[in-house]
């Protein structure tokens, strides 16, 4: 899978993309991450990429022409856009999804990561300053994505989060087993993990884990997932697929007795 990232700060991506799993996946040819410096497409001698907002107000706005040229180049229509300075040349209909990182976007979820992971290529635009000129968003952005309800200084960290979450779903990037029983893929949190020593500073591990009884280990882990989700993220239980046995277990542990609005059994 290929990711094209348009950013004013390409150096921010060294680290997250040059270490560990994403590094290995790129070396193995499973992943191709291409950074594009938006400033390289500035047209004036000062290489300016932002300007004052019409109508006044705080902050700066990313200039439309600079971002548009960067996008055109990445999508292989740079020459056309260069030749036509006066008209808006539409992006090719057959294009990879163009995603804008923005705190005003759709909330990013595991479900969205799974959906995006189906595409062979994604283009991510990292917004900066107060945002991008609305006209470029209208012509050229397919989807705006936010990684949470807080404000970052720019879209770079959000792009790193999205690339990481999508890349790890590509076949071969992770050991297969680690993506199916994990937090969020089925709306339940993960069970607790333990490794050696079996007693650490006087703290033993749960006895079931060394019982050798595989079915009991499996059931214990599943119950731990239910319990943790109930205690920490009861909102997730609304979309989890639960058996009648699961519901019964959850009720025994207080599900449905809470007055919190998040608890579906309360309403």
Q: Which residues bind ligand 6GU (CB under 6 A)?
A: 101-103, 146-148, 150-152, 154-155, 158
Identity of the residue, 71 or 147, whose beta carbon is nearer to ligand 6GU in the bound complex: 147
Closest contact distance (angstroms) between CB of 151 and ligand 6GU is: 5
Least gap, CB of 183 to ligand 6GU (angstroms): 20
Structural contact between residues 77 and 146, judged by C-beta atoms closer than 8 angstroms: no
Least Å distance between CB 127 and ligand 6GU?
6
Task: Kindly tell me which of 27 and 153 has the beta carbon lying closer to ligand 6GU.
Answer: 153
d(CA 90, CA 110): 31
Burial of residue 230 (CB within 10 Å: 0-12, 13-18, 19+) is buried
CA dist list (Å): 53 to 50, 56, 94, 143? 9, 5, 32, 23
Tell me the CA distances in angstroms from 21 to 18, 136, 195, one per residue in order: 9, 34, 22
Q: Tell me how far, at minimum, the Cβ of 52 lies from ligand 6GU, in Å.
A: 19
Pairwise CA distance, residues 148 & 162, whole Å: 12
Note whether 28 and 20 are within 8 A (CB).
no
Residue nearest to ligand 6GU (CB): 158
Q: How far is the CB of 128 from ligand 6GU (least distance, A)?
A: 8
Residue 59 vs 197, nearer CB to ligand 6GU: 59
Residue with the two structure tokens 């997250």: 16
Which residue, 101 or 189, is less far from ligand 6GU as judged by CB?
101
> Based on CB atoms, which residue is closest to ligand 6GU, 31 or 158?
158
200: left (phi over 0), alpha (psi -120 to 50) or beta: beta
CB of 154 to ligand 6GU, least distance (A): 5
Q: Which residue, 154 or 254, has its beta carbon nearer to ligand 6GU? A: 154
Give the position of tokens 């594009």: 36
Helix/strand/coil for 167: helix
């Amino acid at each position: 899978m290929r990711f094209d990232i348009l950013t004013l700060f390409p150096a921010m991506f060294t680290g997250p993309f040059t270490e560990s799993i994403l590094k290995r996946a790129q070396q193995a040819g499973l992943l191709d991450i291409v950074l594009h410096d938006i400033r390289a497409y500035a047209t004036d001698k000062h290489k300016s990429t932002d300007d004052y907002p019409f109508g006044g107000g705080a902050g700066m706005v990313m200039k439309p022409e600079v971002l548009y040229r960067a996008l055109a180049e990445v999508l292989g229509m740079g020459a056309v856009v260069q030749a036509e300075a006066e008209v808006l040349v539409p992006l090719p209909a057959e294009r990879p999804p163009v995603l804008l990182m923005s705190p005003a976007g759709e909330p990013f979820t595991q479900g969205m990561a799974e959906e995006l992971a189906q595409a062979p290529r994604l283009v991510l635009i990292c917004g900066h300053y107060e945002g991008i000129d609305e006209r470029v968003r209208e012509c050229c952005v397919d989807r705006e994505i936010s990684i949470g309800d807080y404000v970052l200084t720019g879209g770079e960290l959000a792009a790193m989060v999205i690339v990481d979450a999508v890349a790890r779903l590509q076949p071969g990037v992770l050991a297969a087993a680690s993506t199916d029983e994990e937090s969020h893929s089925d709306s339940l949190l993960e069970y607790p993990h333990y490794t050696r020593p079996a007693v650490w500073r006087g703290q033993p591990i749960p006895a079931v884990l060394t019982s050798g009884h595989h079915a009991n280990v499996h059931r214990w882990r599943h119950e731990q997932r239910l319990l943790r989700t109930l205690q920490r993220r009861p909102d997730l239980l609304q979309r989890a697929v639960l058996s009648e046995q699961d519901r019964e277990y959850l009720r025994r542990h207080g599900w449905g007795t809470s007055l919190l609005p998040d608890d579906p059994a309360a309403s």
